[in-house]
Amino acid sequence: MKLTADGRITIPEHIRQQAGLSPGSELEIRFENGRLWLKKVDADDLSKREKILQAIAQVEGSATANLDLSTDDIMRMTRTED
């Protein structure tokens, strides 16, 4: 296989079939010890990833998971001396 100018490769059909890859399949790509590794991402992994991303989106931009606290509330809490 050759890498194209825009970084694409073609996975031979017999390998795609053996790996159960079809158009739209998600792949994880890792570089480890001088080697590239491809791994098919299972539907369960995609579901877990989506749940994690949704949880992150809910608290994104807040300093705490308590969404009822404003920035002023948080600043008051961090500046309170005991």
pLDDT of residue 37: 93
Does one domain contain both 76 and 65?
yes
Could you tell me the CATH number of the domain that includes residue 27?
2.10.260.10
The model carries a pTM of 0.49
Distances (CA, A) of 23 to 5, 11, 27, 43, 64: 21, 11, 11, 14, 40
Does one domain contain both 20 and 1?
yes
Confidence of residue 44 (pLDDT cuts 50, 70, 90): confident
Number of domains making up the chain: 2
pLDDT of residue 54: 84
> What residue numbers bound the domain in which 21 lies?
1-41
